[in-house]
Amino acid sequence: MKKLFFIVLCLVASHVSAQDFQSGEEPGTVLTNTFWSDCFVQADLDMSLQNPYGYSFSNVFPNGKSFGLDVAVGKWFAPLIGVRGKFNWENALPLLKNGHANWLAPFYHPGVNRNRGGYIAAYGDVLLNLHALFLPYRADRTWNLSVYPRVGVNYNFGVSKGALAVGVGVLNTYRLTPRWSVYADVAYVMSGSGFVGSENTKATGTGSGSNGYFSLGIGAQYDITRGQTSERAVETRGFWNNWFAQASLDMTLMNPYGCNFFSHALTKGRTHGLTVGLGKWFTPEIALRGLVQWENGLIKNSKLEWVPPVDDPSQNYEGHGFVVLGLDALFNLTNIIQGYQENKLWHTSVYGRAGLLHHFKIDSYSPVLGAGVEQSYRLDDRWSLFGNVGYQVTTSEGSAGMTGMKVGEGSNGFFTFNVGAVFDIGERTWKR
């Protein structure tokens, strides 16, 4: 089974190709389709290779090997960008058994994880087609190479623990017919140690030394809907158009596990900071935004208690606070529902976030998963005002609002409120 898996993997790399767009009037442009076009479903068999913190990957066979099933549904907004939701169930299928999976928690109890149901994971991927980035779009292209960032959650039935997950992957599809494709999916996912710790709370790492696993899948894809343009269609511009920069002041309210948020958040859990970001709208419906959120380093809250170090939270401010590096996928609900209107001033968007949190004072890193809603108002051709509210979840080890609990027993969160301005860089409008 292992040899066959790698032979097929070498022949077929991974991705999705549910794309059927029409070229625009100008060179290098493509017409967008209706929102419900260019959707696809996928199913594959996969192999995971565990990479626990502190253990040599050279021993992954057979200690860290397991097999599972993946199903996914996704959509392409444009030839360059798409999104996919994916569900994985690992180490529980009757025909795919590894009796030496020592690194699937509980540690060094092979078979226990499988008997209890293995583990499950749910992911969200943003697919970026490299062929569409560097080459002109061709509807008849059979091979497509893509990369994606990933964010999600997983849960291990073997030890009744879950964790956040962030990762990256590489994809490449081969289309067999207008509807059917074959693909392989190769990703590396980083997760908290609570996901792999043993029953007696032994952990193989912390938030500062997270565990990871490779996921390698081979399967088939079916395009549910084909591209269909309409009166809402617009021409996507070149890659360097429709960029934007933004800056905002923010306030966070910590929501640590086990603490009474509603009674004490404004005193014990409040911080202030600055957020800057840079992003691009790929279509009127979807954008990606990278951001840096610097917190508790400019304005001090002398009553702040819910940030590490736990014994003296004031040292967090003296150590320059903490920073969140994030990547957002923004979905403009106004344009999704009403279609693109050039003179529209108000826009409502929602976003999902994947990122990394770092506390300077204790030198700790933790993964971040978040979501929020954003409202913007256009002032002129370049400037807009915006405000958003979001909620971000992070692991307990070294995270904002650390409660001192054992790794993996619970996660902390924090609300974020931003008010700021956006400046459009390059061409702003879309040609209808």
pLDDT confidence of residue 28: 58
Tens digit of pLDDT for each residue in 279-328?
A: 999 988 999 999 999 999 999 999 998 888 878 888 989 999 999 999 99
Please compute the mean of the pLDDT values over residues 357-374 and round it to a whole number.
Answer: 87
User: Residue 41: pLDDT band by 50, 70, 90 thresholds?
Assistant: very high
Contact 48, 215 (CB under 8 A): yes
Give, for 266, the enclosing helix (H) or strand (E): helix 261-268
Tens digit of pLDDT for each residue in 164-191?
A: 888 999 999 999 998 999 999 999 998 8
Q: Which residue has the tokens 């999916």?
A: 185
Which one has a higher pLDDT value, 259 or 396?
259
Q: Is the pLDDT confidence value at 240 over 60? A: yes
Burial class (CB in 10 A: 0-12, 13-18, 19+), 349: buried
pLDDT confidence of residue 13: 32
Please compute the mean of the pLDDT values over residues 92-105 and round it to a whole number.
Answer: 82
**Domains contained in the chain, CATH given:** 2-223 (2.40.160.20), 237-425 (2.40.160.20)
Q: Is the pLDDT confidence value at 2 over 60? A: no
User: Residue 402: pLDDT band by 50, 70, 90 thresholds?
Assistant: very low
Please compute the mean of the pLDDT values over residues 135-162 and round it to a whole number.
Answer: 87
pLDDT confidence of residue 20: 59
CA distances from 315 to 52, 296, 320, 370 (A): 32, 10, 9, 26
Q: How many other CB atoms sit within 10 Å of the CB of residue 326? A: 23
Please state the pTM of the whole predicted model. 0.85
In whole angstroms, what is the distance from residue 196 CA to residue 117 CA? 14
Tens digit of pLDDT for each residue in 319-357?
A: 999 999 999 999 999 989 988 888 889 999 999 999 888
**Mean pLDDT, the chain, as a whole number?**
83
Which one has a higher pLDDT value, 308 or 83?
83
CA distances from 397 to 92, 193, 195, 370 (A): 29, 10, 13, 17
Give, for 114, the enclosing helix (H) or strand (E): helix 112-115
User: Residue 206: pLDDT band by 50, 70, 90 thresholds?
Assistant: very low
In whole angstroms, what is the distance from residue 65 CA to residue 80 CA? 34
Q: Is the pLDDT confidence value at 272 over 80? A: yes
